[in-house]
Structure 1
Amino acid sequence: MKLTRRTLFAAAAALALTLPAAAEPLPNIRIGTIENGPLSWEVETIRTLGLDKKHGFAMTPIVMAAPAAAQSALKAGKVNLIFTDWLWVAGERGRGTDLVVAPNARLPSSLIVKADSADQSPTEFKGRKIGINGSPEDGGWLLLRASGLGAGIDLAIEAKETHASPEVLRQELDRGELAALVEPWPAAAVTSATGLREMDTAGAAATALGAPEGFALQGYALQKSWLDHHSKLASDFFAAAAEARQILSTDDAEWDKLRNRMGAPDDARFAQIKGEYRAGIVAEFDPAKAEALYGALTGLEGGKLFGGSAAPSLPEGLFHKP
């Protein structure tokens, strides 16, 4: 049989019809995580259990050196989602960004001192250096400042606020160059194993201002413009993440898989971190209670925490309900 060009084209076309069509790439979400943080554990659980494939999306986790780096990456559009506090998101909205937040956790920052420190009150930090692992606008820092105001000191003004990488700040605290250090959760869970102790928490400050026990202070933050254009992808991620949190709330075997990522120095701290994470899961969030907490913060000494120029209420559309 003589093979003509027409015959070859026909054979190629017939073969193409018998081959499976190339699969469309799954929509991808870029997630800014901190190496030892709750979002990184949830992302790893999603990946390990195949929940991303189950819900029809792909993930690109991007590990950040510190919470402030993740916040900057989100604002710059380098990542699509991070875990942060909603008070920071509210502040960014006031500065003109289009961020929104889906609150789902109460894992508050802590004010940490050396275990042998004689300091018992924030008033003792006047004129001394406090290291901040985060940005000056973090909600945890605002709440700890509110606690200081209740004791008679504005830590941001009367103490010397300093920012650096977590490693540098820990070294400075160890050398006695810092009086105290503000750390995001779960750093406080390992303090007693590293010669440090927790003096105060943002959660205690929120409760003192009237927020109910178990009220969410953090959640997933996204750019609203990205969310508007990728609503299904975001919804699919939220569904997978909720499933991962549900599994982590009960399944010890999944925690065993995460242990090497958690920085827990021993069994007791591993159990503590796991227990605090589980206790910090918040299923329902009431924006009215968030408004009340914001009002209590802005009412402190004429809005001193916000430079005297706080908005009268939280920005409209701040909270996203998955």
Structure 2
Amino acid sequence: MSRILTGAAALVISTVAAFADMPVLRAQVLKFGTVNWELDTIKHHGLDTANGFDLQVTGVAGGAAAKVAFQGGATDVIVSDWLWVARQRAAGKDYVFIPYSKAVGGVMVPEGSPAQSLADLKGDKIGIAGGPLDKSWLILQAYAQQQYGFDLAAETEQVFGAPPLIFKTALQGDLGGAINFWHFMAKMGASGMRQLVSVGDAAEALGLDSETPLLGYVVTGEMLAEHPELVAGLSAASRSAKDMLAGNDAEWDRLRGRMNAKTDAQFEALKAGFRAGIPAEGPVDEEAAARMLALMVELGGEDLLGAATELPEGVFVKPGS
């Protein structure tokens, strides 16, 4: 005997069927990355399905693993900086960048440090999150040379390591200075350390635009060409989540459990730092980006940017493309 479903039961079945037909966007991101706060907001409020896709997020231990998965087609979306995208495009790979954050780190020193400038770190041990080609480290070296005629690399001892290790070592007082990602820097400040200089201020002194978003979602040009509605949907969901996080403290209270904030001060610093890093809507200023790339070519050369010597066409997804 057949049975006709009506009311709520029929609605559930039709909703499930529609959801099953919805395209999936697979994202791989760092487990401890701040992008998880935005992605959590997207999923919690259904901003993905409202924009025509089902977002599926996988956490990975390192950025290199996400890049390998992306290049091998095992994921659709990763988070990286646009300089990496520029390098890949110069090598013939059709990747494109959707802005996510303009937040940058800086140099933190112990609360009682007498240092007032980078030149005062002469002879000190500096912890650096990343490696010798870390963009913040390169910018700070150029800034120290420009402002003080000071060779930051030659006159200090560098310790390179993962962001959590640099954070922990700095709080133990084992470093004269520490260069870390913005969210670790925010927690360091909330724990009593003092900012000596931000990478944003250093970049502006070098003629760069601190409003240029460095980090973003990376997708393939093939996806943009064949499914522009998916790329537009991801951009729209990201912006909606940012709007929520920019103006609604209750959203942050909900996220607090995954933010690894040990104190109220750390929680407030992380919230303020994320909000400060939200980029303006609209297209990326490509002239400003070209200036940044030119400086990175000068400082990091082929080791950092491969064959990219100027900004390739098509790095940034343009609104409406």
TM-score of the two chains, using structure 2 as the length reference: 0.78
- Greater Cα radius of gyration, structure 1 or 2: 1
Q: 1:148 to 1:68 in 2, by over 3 A?
A: farther
CA distance in 1, matches of 2:51, 2:85: 27
Aligned-residue offset at 1:177: 5.3
Q: Hey, what does 1:89 align to over in structure 2?
A: 85
For the residue of structure 1 that corresponds to 2:185, the secondary structure is: helix
Aligned partners of 1:35 and 1:261 also within 8 Å: no
- Kindly indicate whether residue 60 of structure 2 is the aligned counterpart of residue 60 of structure 1: no
For the residue of structure 2 that corresponds to 1:131, the secondary structure is: strand
Percent of residue pairs identical: 35
Aligned partners of 2:171 and 2:188 also within 8 Å: no
CA displacement 1:103-160 (0-9 Å, x = unmatched):
2432012223333344444345567654332355443333233323324345556655
Q: Hey, what does 1:169 align to over in structure 2?
A: 166
Q: 1:225 to 1:181 in 2, by over 3 A?
A: farther
Q: Hey, what does 2:44 align to over in structure 1?
A: 48
For the residue of structure 1 that corresponds to 2:98, the secondary structure is: strand
Q: Hey, what does 1:266 align to over in structure 2?
A: 263
Say how many residue pairs are matched.
305
Q: Hey, what does 2:189 align to over in structure 1?
A: 192
Aligned partners of 2:110 and 2:192 also within 8 Å: yes
Q: 1:140 to 1:93 in 2, by over 3 A?
A: farther
For the residue of structure 2 that corresponds to 1:170, the secondary structure is: helix
Aligned partners of 1:66 and 1:166 also within 8 Å: no
CA distance in 1, matches of 2:190, 2:71: 35
CA distance in 1, matches of 2:158, 2:73: 28
Q: Which blocks of at least 5 consecutive residues in structure 2 are unaligned?
A: 4-9
Alignment map for 1:298-313 (pairs within 5 Å): 298=297, 303-306=298-301, 311-313=308-310
For the residue of structure 2 that corresponds to 1:186, the secondary structure is: helix
> Please, what is the CA RMSD of the aligned residues?
3.5
For the residue of structure 1 that corresponds to 2:267, the secondary structure is: helix
Aligned partners of 2:167 and 2:184 also within 8 Å: no
Q: Hey, what does 2:290 align to over in structure 1?
A: 291
Match of 1:30 among 17, 26, 30: 26
Aligned-residue offset at 1:83: 3.0
Match of 1:245 among 238, 242, 247: 242
TM-score of the two chains, using structure 1 as the length reference: 0.77
CA distance in 1, matches of 2:91, 2:176: 31
- Kindly indicate whether residue 137 of structure 2 is the aligned counterpart of residue 141 of structure 1: yes
CA distance in 1, matches of 2:27, 2:166: 25
